[in-house]
């Protein structure tokens, strides 16, 4: 079987991950052959994108920014409750449960990749060189929706970041791994800034949904995007979005679900003001009264969460 990798990986990839890697970068999974998963989830931006919102087939612009996929499969540290199950859902509004469901939705999304799932299966089945890799991964050459979902989901699961300066400082006691400024930022993050109330655990996310006031129009008293409310219909979820993880956060600019904040310093200043007042704003928000020095330190701390292990680049060749 011919290999299509640009160069041999340091160690062989699991078979499903190898297949999922090609599918992730393959623009033939879009209706017009111009968009892949990697169009919005770019490796060089920690599988996020540098634009406020995503652009799909035909130049169609969505309403939300593609979140990073790094450590997307990391579980939260919440107790096992029905709320925990919701916390392990995906997208900004949590409308997909399970990675296998999540990875398929953008493919068929009219403003994203625009390729109906049956048409995708037909298209992939007509590419002879994909067959042996489906057989390698699943035991036969058949291309099915479940198999595409499983391969893509396993590739996403492998986008794991760790061994950041923060990890070396906190877990291996390398006191030189981070600066004195970042250590001050650590204290601000966990204490005065109260950031860890929502950005908790290894991935710095509680997996829950919070209303920060982003997108609130005080004139019309409406949100540009109702967020979690569109999924649950609960008034308390209007304008609420899932807490993003902070691993590799320096590479995720611009920030928030609508990309409305350009820099990490802008984000810190936003929280320092207590977000934007609206009828269902999270009770966890409030003015923080951080000094400029403390805000700079908090940004320095966030930059220590940039690690390794998730990196990749697009294959040079694809199955034909």
Domain annotation covers residue 175:
yes
Query: What's the confidence (pLDDT) of residue 11?
Result: 64
User: Last residue of a domain, which of 157, 179, 212?
Assistant: 157
* 191 and 277 fall within a common domain: yes
Query: What's the confidence (pLDDT) of residue 73?
Result: 78
Q: Report helix angle 264-272 to 292-303, nearest 10.
A: 130
Q: Is 162 helix (H, G, I), strand (E, B) or coil?
A: strand
- The DSSP code sequence of 91-132 is STT--EESHHHHTTHHHH-TTTT---HHHHHHHHHT-TTHHH
Query: What's the confidence (pLDDT) of residue 12?
Result: 75
- Count the helices and strands in the chain (H runs, E runs): 13, 6
Low-confidence ranges of the chain (pLDDT < 50): 1-8, 76-87
Domain annotation covers residue 293:
yes
* 183 and 51 fall within a common domain: no
Domain annotation covers residue 176:
yes
Q: How many domains does the chain have?
A: 2
Query: What's the confidence (pLDDT) of residue 2?
Result: 42
Query: What's the confidence (pLDDT) of residue 55?
Result: 96
Q: Rounded to 5 degrees, what are φ and ψ at 89?
A: -85, 175
Query: What's the confidence (pLDDT) of residue 304?
Result: 98
* 132 and 251 fall within a common domain: no
* 151 and 224 fall within a common domain: no
Query: What's the confidence (pLDDT) of residue 13?
Result: 82
* 295 and 172 fall within a common domain: yes
Query: What's the confidence (pLDDT) of residue 89?
Result: 87
* 195 and 86 fall within a common domain: no
**The token pair that represents 265 in the structure block:** 């310093």
Query: What's the confidence (pLDDT) of residue 4?
Result: 47
* 128 and 190 fall within a common domain: no
Domain annotation covers residue 316:
no
From 147, 112, 157, select the one nearest 23 (Cα to Cα).
147
* 212 and 107 fall within a common domain: no
Q: What's 233's domain CATH number?
A: 1.10.760.10
Rounded CA-CA distance 191/12 in Å is 43
Rounded CA-CA distance 277/218 in Å is 9
* 180 and 119 fall within a common domain: no
Query: What's the confidence (pLDDT) of residue 83?
Result: 44
* 152 and 170 fall within a common domain: no
Domain annotation covers residue 9:
no
Q: What pLDDT digit, counting tens, does each position of 223-232 carry?
A: 999 999 999 9
Q: Rounded to 5 degrees, what are φ and ψ at 252?
A: -95, 0
Which residues lie below 8 Å from residue 98, measured CB to CB, with a gap of 6+? 90, 153
Please give the residue range of the domain that contains residue 52: 15-157
Contact (CB, 8 A) for 276 and 200: no
Residue 279 Cα distances to 1, 216, 227, 230, 260, angstroms = 60, 10, 15, 17, 21
* 108 and 143 fall within a common domain: yes
Q: What Rg, from alpha-carbon coordinates, does the chain have?
A: 21
* 191 and 143 fall within a common domain: no
């Amino acid at each position: 079987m011919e290999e299509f990798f640009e160069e041999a990986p340091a160690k062989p990839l699991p078979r499903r991950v190898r297949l999922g890697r090609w599918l992730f970068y393959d623009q033939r999974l879009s209706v017009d052959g111009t968009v892949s998963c990697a169009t919005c989830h770019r490796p060089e931006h920690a599988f996020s994108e540098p634009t406020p919102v995503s652009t799909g087939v035909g130049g169609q612009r969505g309403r939300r920014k593609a979140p990073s996929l790094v450590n997307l499969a990391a579980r939260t540290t919440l107790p096992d409750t029905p709320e925990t199950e919701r916390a392990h859902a995906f997208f900004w509004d949590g409308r997909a449960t399970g990675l296998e469901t999540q990875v398929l939705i953008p493919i068929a999304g009219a403003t994203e990749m625009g390729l109906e799932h049956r048409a995708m299966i037909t298209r992939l089945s007509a590419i002879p060189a994909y067959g042996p890799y489906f057989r390698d991964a699943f035991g036969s050459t058949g291309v099915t929706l479940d198999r595409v979902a499983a391969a893509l989901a396993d590739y996403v699961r492998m986008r794991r970041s760790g061994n950041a300066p923060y990890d070396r400082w906190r877990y291996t006691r390398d006191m030189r791994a981070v600066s004195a400024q970042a250590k001050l930022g650590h204290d601000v993050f966990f204490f005065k800034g109260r950031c860890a109330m929502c950005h908790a655990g290894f991935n710095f996310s509680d997996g829950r949904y919070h209303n920060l006031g982003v997108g609130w129009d005080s004139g019309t008293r409406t949100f540009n995007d109702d967020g979690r409310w569109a999924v649950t219909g609960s008034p308390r979820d209007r304008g609420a979005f899932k807490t993003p993880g902070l691993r590799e956060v320096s590479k995720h600019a611009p920030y928030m679900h609508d990309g409305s904040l350009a820099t990490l310093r802008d984000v810190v200043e936003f929280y320092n003001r207590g977000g934007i007042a609206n009828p269902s704003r999270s009770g966890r928000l409030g003015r923080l009264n951080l000094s400029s020095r403390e805000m700079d330190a908090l940004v320095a701390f966030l930059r220590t969460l940039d690690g390794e292990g998730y990196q990749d680049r697009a294959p040079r060749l694809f199955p034909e």
